[in-house]
Structure 1
Amino acid sequence: MTFLENPNCLLSRRNRIQFLVTLLVNIAPFAHGLGIGWMSPVMRDLTTDQSPLNFPVLVEDVSWIGSLVGIGAMIGNILAGTLINRIGRKPVMFGLAFPALIFWSLVYYVQSVEYLYVGRLMAGLTNGAFYVVLPTFLSEIADDNIRGRLGSMILLTVNTGVLTGYIVSSHFDYFTAPPFIIAVPICYIIGNFLFPETPIHLIRKGKFQKAKESFQFYKNIRRDDIKAESEFEDLKLKVIKAEAEQAKSFDYRDFITKPAFKAYASGAVVLIANQFSASFCVSSYLSTIFAASHTTLDMTMCTIVIGSVQIVGTYATTLLCDKYGRRILMLVSSSGAAICLAIFGTYTYFAKIYNLTAVGWLPLVILACYVFLCNIGLVGCVFVLLLEFFPTKIRSVCVSTFIVILSGMVFLALKIFPICVAEWGISVTMWCCSVSTTLCFFYFYFFLVETKGKSLLEN
């Protein structure tokens, strides 16, 4: 068997269209990550004498600029969750580009801090919507054996965009980048014309011929393939049966079953581990954290290194998620992140008392290990797990609800993290995050069930 004949190879005949479409739709997460990475150093400069703007920006303003992305994400979650089954995956995916276009336009034509508020709100709206629609879209076009890898690529492209944003903001001034970056969401719009709606959604809408054509497109199979014909008919029967059962018996009791409560508990702990391990706060307040660590290294270089490590971590997730399973990645990620947070807190505690310039490189090494370990599980597996936790009947409602909750937790974490650092210091803040992550590790060890290879049409 050659490399390309391996059914698990993303470039095999069966998988290559699914992989290429995944690359196209991930332009939206890349554009969002680009905005996060570009804004991070810019927010640091807005309150200094080096501010590129001709009006004052206060520290409180910067905290709102940083955290409003969470409010926008909640709005995007709700809109996408409401529309995804009514109008389809493709129309919602088209809509992702327009808030991003508004964000970059407001950043470029900024006249007051309110422009940045609205811009970040729009960026968050795109963020929240694609975290609902893209995992659903990819799970419906992907085969079970590669679904984890394709789904985890969302975080990989976000982090690639973050690193690109770090580099762009370090080498170009404020008003140079936006006119060129705005081309990215435009490319995303063009790319969306190249592929059809998912076969599962078309079956649910009774458009069986279009569903069959969509199935053949994504599986890259010939129209006269008898085996593929049988496979499509099997999928159609499963979807119709699931829809009939849902329409017949869907009521509040579906939400209070034992499997549902187990899914709620696992989903809640995954969200807590994702946000209160400080994973997103570290990315957003990286310069502040490095300054508090008394490192002697160049801040720009440290930022780019961390951005690169994020990419390596999420890429590792795409390689390991379907091979070793979700549970082992979550265990390694949570335990490793907790240890790194504890060590970083201890280092910063002693850095205030003793002169540690001889090991001034250590904060970068600790944070690089932390970011890598976070991204292989606590960050990289979140959306794959949320899709696989819940029973079929309540999956769409629960996933949408939990992603809205996650967006709210993003806002909360981004608001309270700098307050905690100011009140308690960076050491105590990191120790608290370490304790939270350790508790999540014990939950994963005793209660987390492996979902690798699970069909989304199964309960």
Structure 2
Amino acid sequence: MENGKRVLIAPTKYGSLFCEMGTGKEASSNNLVIDENRMQGNKAPQYIAALSVCLGSVAAGTVLGWTSNIDLTKGILNNLEITMNQVSWIGSMATLGGLLVCVPIGYYCDIVGRKLAMLSMIILFSLGWLLIIFANSVTMIYLGRLITGMAGGAFCIAAPMYTSEIAEKEIRGTLGSYFQLLLTVGILISNVLGAYVDIKTFSILCFCIPLVFGAVFFFQPETPIYSLKKGKEDDARKALRRLRGPDYDVDSELKELKQQIESAEQNQISLKESLKKKATKKAFVISFGLMMFQQLSGINAVIFFTSTIFKQAGANFSFSPTIIVGIMQVIATFVSSIVVDKFGRKILLIGSDSMMALSSVALGIYFTLQDRHILNEDQISTISFLPVLSLCVFIIVFSLGFGPIPWMISSEVFPPEIKSVASSAAGTFNWFLAFIVTAYYQPLTSLVGADVTFYMFTLISFTGSLFVFFVVPETKGKTMNEIQNELNGEQINSNGVENKAYS
């Protein structure tokens, strides 16, 4: 017998009974002993459910990437005359929409359920794209971008919430990263369509993507946790059987989930009271800090204005460079989804932010040499590869760490009694910073220069690496309770006993 190994003795109507091998509490030889590994859930249905919900992230990605590969100033959208200043606002209106919806979507998910909340976003997507497709004024484009941004922003909160509530802890990190992965797929689709089809056809195809999401996700179950909160135990049981497979010990997990929900309801406290808890204070610092460093790294400025940055750098291509950037982003995010539950969140965050800092400083140096006329045109042409390489590296390493993981950690660190509200607040903060960066990137570069702007991004990314190293805990492979215990200053020793950690 392996020391410390949990085995199932026998199921009862109250749940399955477990004993700890090698702890003096072994089952007798008369008991039927089944290896716990044989009772683990089937992971495939969980992967399918996570991928289907994140098709909504593809729709959100097309919203973010819509401006990256088209030149609206040439009157290509219904012959409208649009200035560069208006283009900046068209780009940033989507982030403003995301900002406005983040808090309401948390309450909405609690009222109608995670599944129905996301399905209803199809209406917003459709309305927004129709306004853009048939726009006869810049105001209609603004409004369409605002509404599609609201729908996309809703998925930033609801999709990670859904995946975290359907996943077993062993694959929670992987499933949580699918949101960012499919978001990058949506951005890539925008890059390709923007390069090879006219803008109206491009927008019509974007209109169709949320409809595909609805057709696929409609057949997935509501999360077991939400069903139990609403007193629908049969629905929760059916969902677990669907998500874990027929051989899984559903009753045992149901009992555990019910105990967690009952405990949360019995200990339900106001936001004000929760904020007095050490774990809650740390969770807010961690989540809001990661959101801040993610957005102030300049990522949305890079995504929204990729073509503009290449043009500023004097890079000429026979193809759209945004497509190559988009492909790299998808591949890197996919790699992150594979390794996040192996290497952990923290090492990926530090490595990601450190490389982002190096990429930003390389871009800054290039623009200094070019815009300050330190090198002549011939000399500049010899290092024309630098902005392309730097931008590609920036997006790749962002997608490996600082793209998906802040959203994932935000759904992991908040206590259950305020998770919906707190995650929504963190999402609102994220979108607010995204709006600031995208709205003022071009005015800032005009004021201080592209080089100084990227030096600022460098400093922020370097500071973010230090923040992760000293403040952010590793959440890989930990249950929600274990994460809360750690944030409260408690540790679990080898015997499974909670001890207070004193510094």
Whether the TM-score (by the shorter chain) exceeds 0.5 is yes
* TM-score (structure 1 length as normaliser): 0.92
Moved more, 391-400 or 368-377: 391-400
- What is the letter of the counterpart of residue 274 of structure 1? Q
The equivalent residue for 1:237 is: 259
- What is the letter of the counterpart of residue 45 of structure 2? I
- Greater helix content: 1
The equivalent residue for 1:141 is: 166
Give the superposed CA RMSD: 1.9
> Are 2:77 and 1:47 equivalent residues in the alignment?
no
- Secondary structure, counterpart of 1:145 in structure 2: helix
- What is the letter of the counterpart of residue 54 of structure 2? N
Deviations 1:163-208 (A, max 9, x none): 1111111111122233344222112222232122111111111111
> Are 2:420 and 1:396 equivalent residues in the alignment?
yes
Contact 1:29 1:161 in 2 (8 A): yes
**2:461 maps to which of 434, 437, 442:** 437
Deviations 1:371-408 (A, max 9, x none): 11111111121110111222233222211111111111
Q: Distance in 2 between matches of 1:243 and 1:217?
A: 27
**1:288 maps to which of 291, 302, 308:** 308
- What is the letter of the counterpart of residue 402 of structure 2? L
- What is the letter of the counterpart of residue 464 of structure 2? C
Structure 2: gaps spanning 5 or more residues: 1-35, 485-503
Contact 2:286 2:472 in 1 (8 A): yes
Q: Distance in 1 between matches of 2:353 and 2:112?
A: 38
- Secondary structure, counterpart of 1:47 in structure 2: helix
Q: Distance in 2 between matches of 1:374 and 1:442?
A: 16
The equivalent residue for 1:21 is: 49
Contact 2:64 2:94 in 1 (8 A): no
Q: Shift of the alpha carbon at 1:55?
A: 2.7
Q: Distance in 2 between matches of 1:95 and 1:420?
A: 38
Matches within 5 A, 1:6-405: 14-42=42-70, 45-48=71-74, 51-222=76-247, 227-246=249-268, 249-250=269-270, 252-298=272-318, 300-352=319-371, 353=373, 354=375, 355-405=379-429
Task: Please list every run of at least 4 consecutive aligned residues from structure 1 whose deviation after the TM superposition is greater than 4 angstroms.
Answer: none
- What is the letter of the counterpart of residue 375 of structure 1? S
C-alpha change, 1:71 and 1:52, in structure 2 (3 Å) is closer
Contact 2:107 2:421 in 1 (8 A): no
- What is the letter of the counterpart of residue 173 of structure 2? G
Deviations 1:44-95 (A, max 9, x none): x2213x6343231122211111111122112221221121112211110111
Q: Shift of the alpha carbon at 1:13?
A: 6.6
**Number of residue pairs matched by the alignment:** 441
Q: Shift of the alpha carbon at 1:287?
A: 1.4
Q: Distance in 2 between matches of 1:96 and 1:126?
A: 5
- Secondary structure, counterpart of 1:356 in structure 2: helix
Identity %: 27
Contact 1:345 1:427 in 2 (8 A): yes
Moved more, 33-42 or 325-334: 33-42
Moved more, 171-180 or 357-366: 171-180
Q: Distance in 2 between matches of 1:415 and 1:175?
A: 24
Contact 1:336 1:370 in 2 (8 A): yes
Q: Distance in 1 between matches of 2:381 and 2:349?
A: 34
> Are 2:479 and 1:455 equivalent residues in the alignment?
yes
Q: Shift of the alpha carbon at 1:40?
A: 2.1
Q: Distance in 1 between matches of 2:400 and 2:465?
A: 14
The equivalent residue for 1:3 is: none
- Greater strand content: 2
* TM-score (structure 2 length as normaliser): 0.84
C-alpha change, 1:172 and 1:195, in structure 2 (3 Å) is same
Larger radius of gyration: 2
- Secondary structure, counterpart of 1:221 in structure 2: coil
